[in-house]
Structure 1
Amino acid sequence: MKKVVRITSTVCFAMALAIFTAIAAIALQLPDDFLVETGQQLYVDDNIKAGVLQDKLSGQTAAAEKPLLNGKSYKTQLKMFGIIPIKDVNVSVVETRRVIPCGTPFGIKMFTDGVVVVGLTDIDNGSALVNPAKCAGIKLGDIITHVNGKEIGSNEDLAREVVNAEGEPLNVTVRRGSSCFDTMLTPEKAKSDGRFKAGIWVRDSSAGIGTVTFYDESSKLFGGLGHPVCDIDTGGILPLMSGEVVDVTITSVNKGLPGLPGELRGSFNGSKAAGYLITNSETGLYGMLNSSPSSHSSVEVALKQQVHEGKATILSTIEGSEPIEYSIVIEKVNMNDSNPTKNLIVRITDERLLKASGGIVQGMSGSPILQDGMLVGAVTHVFVNDPTRGYGIFAENMLLSADSISADIKNKAS
């Protein structure tokens, strides 16, 4: 009898451990914050239910089925099968949002806020090889914003200050990540031409082609790419000082192959700007457009918990300037907050697109993903070894970034 009890206890313990391990794994996959639309309840899936709600503003507990008004926030507990607690989450109630999904290509002309250090090079002064920038503690990816208190906005600005110093130490202001510091850089005279040099290569601008994800008629804001514009040499996000949006026509496509990503080729249509850039951020490129680049009707923006695995479509332009809707499958949805631009794994299934481009190619980043009549996300990256598959970002994440920009604009105006 004792043996039976021991076996039963061991089995029960093992089962309990397995259940709680699974619950812990599910908790890690779920975000800490959710949005729900006015009058709606938080719904994750058939197995995960929202428990008792607490209104953050009043501190009062409300019935789980009672919908709250826009602008309210509350805490709720997610439970497996409505019984086993998974985790507590924060919920904010928002209005249903509509935007115009685009899929149209746009030309990008951007100028950096400061100059980005993209290379370090030694200077031969006749007796030794020295690198003034390296000696000053400057690294690849650093951004030089000022020299001796003067703002540096271009490569020419920096070159002029180095030459004019005639070998005297320069006080250089450097931005590295979120911090800034000053350092002293002493230019070195090169034996080859007798000119003073800093020993660095810098970049002050970038140009390229991307895809507009959505356009907000009320604010005239657009979001595109779904990921930042990064420096090709350092991989760091280019700090935007100013930039223009120009119309572009796709002229050809280099087909993607396993191990060899393809790309869209296009030409800018004239010099007249169609809009301007405001922010180059982790979730994409944002700015203002004079008008909607797409004739598509507006659609609702899906919240992340409304996105599911299964059939979907993308709007993308691989020829000319008019987008076409192509079929895809959303293979995986990741609601975890760890990476805001890789929330989805998508696979191209449309034979037309597979034949023309091989799948996802560079320049298609930002192509809107539609599911159940809603904008659910945008294509962001291609899998190098499988161009038929790639990552996508939640539309919710991009819209939150756009709303933050819109709020900043209103605050500055007031």
Structure 2
Amino acid sequence: MNKQKYGGCVRAMLGIFIAAAMLCGMLDGAVPERVSVRGDALSEAAAEYGFDLDRETAAACLSEGAGCHTIKCTAKLFGILPIKTVDVSVFGDVTLIPGGVPFGVKLYTEGVVVMGISEVACGDGAASPAKDAGIREKDVICAIDGVPVNSAEEITSHMEECGGRPVRVTVMRDGGKLELTVTPVLSAEDGKYRTGMWIRDNTAGIGTVTYVDPEDMEFAGLGHGICEHDSGELVELVRGSIVNVTISSVIKGKAGCPGELKGYFSSGRIGALLKNNACGVYGVLAELPAGMGNEAMPIALADEICEGEAQLLCTTDEHGIAAYTVKLSNIDRSGRDVKNFVVTVTDPALLERTGGIVQGMSGSPLVQNGKLIGAVTHVCVNL
């Protein structure tokens, strides 16, 4: 009898264990890989997911102030059986000033890009010193006679000073460096020494400010990185400046045409560009861009963003920033660092003015329920 009771207990316990294991397996998919919470809601999140969160860890997260702090917690069934390890991102009370104003960016790269090769009219007819030296389109000139160069003006000055003697040109090509020798010729057109190279030393464009941090005047804008036209790779930044922009006109978007905000740069820079990455451009401002307010708002956590109505802040004319109604859909709930959603313009005023989202609006902040939730990144064109 005792053996029968013992066997029954073992079978019962084994059944409970198997059932618990199956339940843990089912719950593994229900528990997210990552959870984002505000510091004051950390205890509630721990209770909801069964995290093994000790008081010391919680206190440390809360004492570190604003910003994001990630800790690893184990979600447990009934507080006993481990289900999975979850990355918990704990956010402090971060508030940012939403943008919506246009800005101009002047981005200076390492070296000077060769955009084309041509001939130079000279006393003997025509010559192409750059071609003869082996210089190619898309080469990046980084030094002349061993002296680093970062502007077209510096290269022109070096060629003038050489007086027609051969000069050593260091170029970057396909990830490596080459040493080439070019001999400038005297142009019959302007009497200056030329090599027959068309060169570019910077990139300029218009975008929209996403936010400014009132604590340190750091800003983000554009919503996507500045890339090379041919390769699609991010432009390597050496230095850059930010200037005010005045919107002068709008090319309305339509099927097959993305449309564009047209504007002109104002004199004097208002900030410096420090970073260019896949999510946009970042830097620091000396002053707020013209027409931008100074009222900060909280940022939303990923799980606070929902499909439906939101507001897009942008500038399309001389009247300044305006809020337009848009619809959010296809929200990415994955664990990837960069997550996207689709923004559809529903506001009749913006549809009438621009036809929807157009080039130049990249970086425009999106607001939902009084919180900053993201920014416009790209224009989708219906063909």
Q: TM-score category by the smaller chain?
A: 0.7 to 0.9
Match of 1:69 in 2: 62
Match of 1:133 in 2: 135
Tell me if structure 2 keeps the 8 A contact 1:302–1:374: yes
The one of 243, 259, 264 equivalent to 1:262 is: 259
Match of 1:391 in 2: none
Q: Is 2:305 the counterpart of 1:307?
A: yes
Match of 1:323 in 2: 321
Q: Is 2:104 the counterpart of 1:107?
A: yes
1 CA distance for matches of 2:337 and 2:70? 24
The one of 165, 181, 184 equivalent to 2:179 is: 184
2 CA distance for matches of 1:43 and 1:354? 43
Q: Match of 1:69, SS?
A: helix
TM-score normalised per structure 2: 0.72
Q: Is 2:33 the counterpart of 1:40?
A: no
The one of 262, 269, 272 equivalent to 2:268 is: 272
The one of 170, 173, 182 equivalent to 1:172 is: 170
Residue 339 of structure 1 deviates from its aligned partner by 7.3
Deviations 1:147-189 (A, max 9, x none): 443111112333555674968573625387xx6x432223377
Tell me if structure 1 keeps the 8 A contact 2:366–2:376: yes
Unaligned 5+ runs, structure 2:
1-21, 121-125
Tell me if structure 2 keeps the 8 A contact 1:118–1:234: no
Match of 1:286 in 2: 282
The alignment covers a number of residue pairs equal to 341
Unaligned 5+ runs, structure 1:
1-15, 387-414
Residue 380 of structure 1 deviates from its aligned partner by 1.0
Match of 2:382 in 1: 385
- Aligned-residue CA RMSD (Å): 4.3
Tell me if structure 2 keeps the 8 A contact 1:144–1:175: no
Tell me if structure 1 keeps the 8 A contact 2:218–2:283: yes
TM-score normalised per structure 1: 0.67
| Structure 1 residues 119 and 84: CA distance shift in structure 2, 3 A | farther
Match of 2:295 in 1: 297
Which amino acid in structure 2 is aligned with residue 52 of structure 1? Answer: F
2 CA distance for matches of 1:87 and 1:260? 48
2 CA distance for matches of 1:51 and 1:221? 38
2 CA distance for matches of 1:121 and 1:70? 63
* Identity within the alignment, %: 36
Q: Match of 2:376, SS?
A: strand
Q: Match of 2:350, SS?
A: helix
Question: What are the within-5 Å matches in structure 2 for residues 8-23 of structure 1?
Answer: 23=29
Match of 1:52 in 2: 51
1 CA distance for matches of 2:140 and 2:73? 43
1 CA distance for matches of 2:75 and 2:244? 47
| Structure with greater Cα Rg | 2
Question: What are the within-5 Å matches in structure 2 for residues 232-243 of structure 1?
Answer: 232-243=229-240
2 CA distance for matches of 1:225 and 1:306? 23
2 CA distance for matches of 1:95 and 1:77? 22
2 CA distance for matches of 1:109 and 1:370? 28
Tell me if structure 2 keeps the 8 A contact 1:214–1:224: yes
| Structure 1 residues 317 and 73: CA distance shift in structure 2, 3 A | closer
Match of 2:9 in 1: none
Q: Match of 1:380, SS?
A: coil
2 CA distance for matches of 1:79 and 1:343? 31
Which amino acid in structure 2 is aligned with residue 292 of structure 1? Answer: L
- Of 243-252 and 350-359, more deviation after overlay is shown by 243-252
1 CA distance for matches of 2:169 and 2:43? 55
Question: What are the within-5 Å matches in structure 2 for residues 150-169 of structure 1?
Answer: 150-161=147-158, 164=162, 168=166
Q: Match of 1:382, SS?
A: coil
Q: Match of 1:40, SS?
A: helix
Which amino acid in structure 1 is aligned with residue 51 of structure 2? Answer: V
